[in-house]
Amino acid sequence: IALLVVLPLESLAHGLFHELGGCLGGTCAGYALVMPTIYYSAGGQPTLLPPEHVQELNLRSTAMLNAVQRLFSHHMVQTFGCDYSTSGVTLEAVQNKLQSFLELRTADGPRHDTYLIFYSGHSQKGSGAWALAGGESLHLNQLLEMWREKNGGHGSRLIVVLDTENSLPWVKEVRRLEGIYMAVQGAKLPASRLDPESGDVPLLGDFTSEWVEFNCNPASANQWTEKGRTVMATYGVSKRWSDYALHLPTGSDIAKHWKTHFPKATYPLIHLSNWCCGLNLFWLCSVFLRCFRRYKLAWFPPAVLDTGQGIKLVQS
């Protein structure tokens, strides 16, 4: 009798968790790196800003860190770290930090569903590479190499948020990537606001402030598609982005759980359940829908793209 009571309850619980797994955003880990002070001119030569401009930029950078921490807290993102440096960071230090971050796992052991990296600092005009100390730089292909090495076949997502002067090269490049789930959210700052001869500090931080407010406040009045915006945004996603699905329990996971908690007499039910779940009578429809979603996202990207994590990507 007890078994007849427990089995329906277990089935209901499994169905509930399966539905929740399909609608919740999963786990997410975040890391932020903010590096102000040195300005890269149009010619690519580093030029130190005047002291009063450095002070203002440092205040903006501190506000950015606070905004990112608010974003992580609001969306229950596990914070790996929020680093701030005014003297620059070496390429080796950044790579070590990113490798440790991309190896991060949940308390139960599996990898996180989503990894989010925020960077604000100076970048190279042609490639969008992060400008680091000693004239070194971190290019997108270096980050991709680390991601493929650490993620392997786990199927997690990588989201990179850039509040930089030159985020467009990364946004364009990520749209050509295949085989991974990756998105880049970038800011577009008008060239007039980046001209050191105009006497104005590059207003890095404006995008972060508006984007975080948009993602944390449902009543936010920010309209990213309105004309005349001083700070605009753009995003790009890899070709397989729309194929992403959360990691749900596999047949072997269910079998392991069942064998741990139920008698051997019920084991045939496991095979019956796995056989039924393995039947995909509408596989042709699923292939068509997958292709349709890919082309729709590539040809008609929405102004606001919900990642399913509660965090939205935007473009102007």
SS3 113: coil
How confident is the model at residue 258, as a pLDDT?
61
Question: Domain containing 71: what range?
Answer: 27-240+304-314
Domain-located, residue 292: no
Q: What is the CATH number of the domain that holds 210?
A: 3.40.50
183: which residues sit within 8 A by CB, 6+ positions away?
157, 158, 159, 160, 174, 235, 236, 237, 238, 241, 305, 307, 313
Residue 264 lies in a domain: no
Q: Reading across the β-sheet that carries 114-120, which strands appear in turn? A: 78-84, 28-34, 114-120, 157-163, 181-188, 232-237
CA–CA gap between residue 268 and residue 270 (Å, rounded) = 5
DSSP sequence for 241-293: GGG----PPPHHHHHHHHHHHS-GGGHHHHHHHHHHHH--TTHHHHHHHHHHH
- pTM over the 0.85 mark: no
pLDDT digits (tens, 9 = 90+) for 57-90: 788 889 999 999 999 999 999 999 999 988 888 9
pLDDT digits over 23-55, tens only?
Answer: 556 899 999 999 875 554 545 455 666 677 777
pLDDT, tens digit, 9 for 90 and up, residues 187-215: 987 655 444 445 444 477 889 999 999 99
Q: What average pLDDT does the segment 290-316 reach?
A: 88
Establish if 221 belongs to a structural domain.
Answer: yes
Note the helical H segments in 127-250: 140-151, 168-174, 206-216
For the record, the structure tokens of 202 come out as: 């590059």
Q: Answer whether residue 214 is part of any domain.
A: yes
Domain assignment of residue 278, yes or no: no
- Angle among Cα 280, 309, 158 to the nearest 5 degrees reads 85
Q: What mean pLDDT value characterizes the chain?
A: 81
- In 3-state terms, what secondary structure has residue 21? helix
**Residue 270: burial class (beta carbons within 10 Å; 0-12, 13-18, 19+):** middle
Predicted pLDDT of residue 92: 95
What is the token pair recorded at 89?
């960071």
CB 224 within 8 A of CB 172: no
Residue 283 lies in a domain: no
pLDDT in tens, 133-160: 888 999 999 999 999 999 988 889 999 9
Q: Is 298 helix (H, G, I), strand (E, B) or coil?
A: helix
Query: Which residue, 119, 105, 117, is CA-closest to 31?
Result: 117
Question: Is 131 within the bounds of a domain?
Answer: yes
Q: How many domains does the chain have?
A: 1
**What is the β-pairing status of strands 181-188 and 38-40?**
unpaired
